[in-house]
Structure 1
């Protein structure tokens, strides 16, 4: 495939906008088609690890995001009673992986990514389908209600239940239910004083993290049948499941309104796709490798995809070869961690908690080892030179 000149991106989420920004910087004419009426994302906060921040460095956005985000300090892993199982050492993590873990609202990241694109690049309220994936000797064709678009490269970033993925790989079974549901809230809680924490219970977990602007991001997960919803409201369901857990969980729930709560069942791709491309169409993010959120790598891997795709824009087979093994390994690990997080067997929980506490006493390096090969990833090509890669250098 010759060097592409025109790209169409289907999906205006984090992966799609990162791909659009990276391709624009490579000199391509880019059009982003988003079916929602605006780019305001449905979601809450997102954690970005050193691997995705280095990817954002490639397009010159890493330092801006580090400045806008809350840098994660030391955190703790607890039981519902508040007994501490382990402590996260932020300085040790930054030293090991070459930078901090940061947290910000998804809307903030989307706004920064969209600002990298020329006016008129993003078209909202547009439903797009791939009519022809193209080949070496012909462009791909994308159909919209307003007419067809030809493209040298199509980036499919249309999410977990990707229609483009189904078009490219009709025999793949698609996303399957992961066995649990999640809740997320972002609320103002200016007087809150607590360290970031995650708490593991029986078939349930909760996490609380302060944001930079005085708000708090909290998330919860619990095993549940697919499609199950609270009969009255989701806040009442959270109170039922987590109301007697340790501080600050009750204080956060007291400040939550029913309309603040987002609930989504979790799905992942199993088995992995045979490839991340066909013809001139490439899949990124959840469309390519939807995974449970327990490693916090879903959005991070989408950002990596986008930067690597821009690097391999003229050779989509190389893109697949680069990304498929890595994302498959991360996704499989996310599935394993989800099962560990949400154990229901009391004996298994006791063994899990004792092992975590024992490893924690041996030092932070053993706990951090689980992110080796993930958070230490570096993008291909020379990155933009960040000046704030470590805590204390801001």
Structure 2
């Protein structure tokens, strides 16, 4: 592979946000190079979310990679809340004027973007070691890395930091140039992926005396289930049999009876956190996706926020290159953060509503019960929940 020595936009990270940005820029006639420290197989092996807002589906359309999503994705017009063994449906379509979400795995989106990039011969450098970014406060940024033992310097106009929470881009911002906000939740999610049919045609969010659970799916034959668990739990402590038994204890009787179990093909524990860094622009470095913000997975906003970030950024770069307007670049952080904080609020609220908290005895528990009772008996409250779930406008 011939590695370019210069490009207009250097994108750090070949996850879905970096790949989507690369595709949007390519279709706008803006050349770009993606640099990724892991292998492509490793990137594809990450098991992540799969509830896609319409704004994300629209971005995939603009990127030219929505064909398989339309063919294989599952349109959902609602989901269910199971509270202490009783299910209550949130009718997304009715409450939002016909809007819905699409269930299509993040892994599949990543695969579609990778294949489109490969088909069009766009440069992606995998297994780049020692990646570092330089001079992003000037008009001539650089990215330096080693590939197959050879050192490279990539000159560029802009750097897009799409390299995740632990990536090099945010870590390269000078101390004092940004402010971070964070909340760590006192539990995690134990997740299991299995080739079994889903227990329901729609997602079920479960609040039970034993803790939260989520029944979701990736297709008609592949299911993804989660259990709230203690942060000191280890995956090795949970056999498949123990996982399915505990899930049944948290479900309503009908779901527990119809649950189909099988061998897990992936099992992991993820801690939950809320995190935002402000601003998201530092000279000619722009952060996007998990490099700038993390949400607990309860609201299914992580991938969708990353897609809106790179949509804003691609639009701003298009304007800069094609109309010489700097307004979009100047407003990128402000526009992205306005949407991010609304999604952070919803994800925090939904997480606080559905999980058991160690400190929520007495008054805290009563407030949680009152909030749930209000939600289940107030159509305006359900409409607000539905509006946030399907995705706020960009």
TM-score norm. by structure 1 comes to 0.81
Following superposition, the deviation at residue 18 of structure 1 comes to: 0.9
Per-residue CA deviations over 1:335-384 (Å, capped at 9, x if unaligned) read: 23322222333654455345434433443x531313546745445xxxxx
Look up the match of 1:151: 156
Larger relative contact order (CA 8 Å, sep ≥ 6): 1
Give distance in 2, aligned partners of 1:28 and 1:203: 52
Is 1:55 aligned to residue 59 of structure 2? yes
The equivalent of 2:355 in structure 1 is 342
* Paired residue secondary structure (1:130): strand
8 Å CA contact retained: 1:43, 1:262:
no
Matched, 1:368 2:383: yes
The match for 1:279 among 269, 283, 287 is: 283
Please state whether the residue corresponding to 1:261 is helix, strand or coil. strand
Contact 1:58–1:307 under 8 Å retained in 2: no
Alignment map for 1:242-261 (pairs within 5 Å): 242-246=247-251, 247-249=254-256, 252=259, 254-257=261-264, 259-261=265-267
Task: Give 2:237's match in structure 1, choosing from 219, 232, 235.
Answer: 232
Question: Could you say which residue in structure 2 is the equivalent of 1:330?
Answer: 343
Deviation per residue, 1:248-269 (Å, 9 max, x gap) = 3576573243x53122222332
Answer yes or no: is 1:119 the counterpart of 2:135: no
Q: Does 1:304 align with 2:308?
A: yes
Match of 1:69 in 2: 73
> Partner of 1:158: helix, strand, or coil?
coil
Stretch of structure 1 that moved more, 354-363 or 180-189: 354-363
**Residue 143 of structure 1: how far off its partner (Å):** 3.0
User: How far apart, CA to CA, are the structure 2 residues paired with 1:56 and 1:133?
Assistant: 32
Q: Judging changes above 3 Å, is the alpha-carbon distance between structure 1 residues 352 and 274 closer, same or farther for their aligned structure 2 residues? A: closer
The count of corresponding residues between Structure 1 and Structure 2 is 366
Describe the SS at the equivalent of 1:254: coil
SS of residue in 2 equivalent to 1:260:
strand
The alpha-carbon deviation at position 165 of structure 1 amounts to 0.6
Match of 1:178 among 155, 163, 185: 185
Alpha-carbon separation, structure 2, partners of 1:193 and 1:179: 29
Q: Superposed, which structure 2 residues align to 1:203-218 within 5 Å?
A: 204-218=211-225
Deviation of the 1:170 alpha carbon: 3.6
Q: Is the 8 A contact 1:10 1:128 kept in 2?
A: no
Deviations 1:221-262 (A, max 9, x none): 33x33x5425533546635743422253576573243x5312
Distance 1:32 1:305 in 2: 17
Query: Would you say the 8 A contact 1:45–1:186 is kept in 2?
Result: no
Normalised by the size of structure 2, how large is the TM-score? Answer: 0.81
Alignment gaps of 5+ in structure 2? 1-5, 321-325
TM-superposed CA distance for 1:110, in Å, is 0.8
- Cα 1:194–1:21 shift into 2, 3 Å: closer
Deviation track 1:113-144 (CA, whole Å, cap 9, x = no partner) reads 22332235222222353331424532333433
Pairing partner for 1:359 from 347, 359, 375: 375
**Larger helix percent:** 2
Q: Does 1:166 align with 2:171?
A: yes
* 1:202 CA drift (Å): 4.1
Q: Distance in 2 between matches of 1:120 and 1:372?
A: 37
1:91-102 matches, cutoff 5 A: 91-93=93-95, 95=97, 99-102=99-102
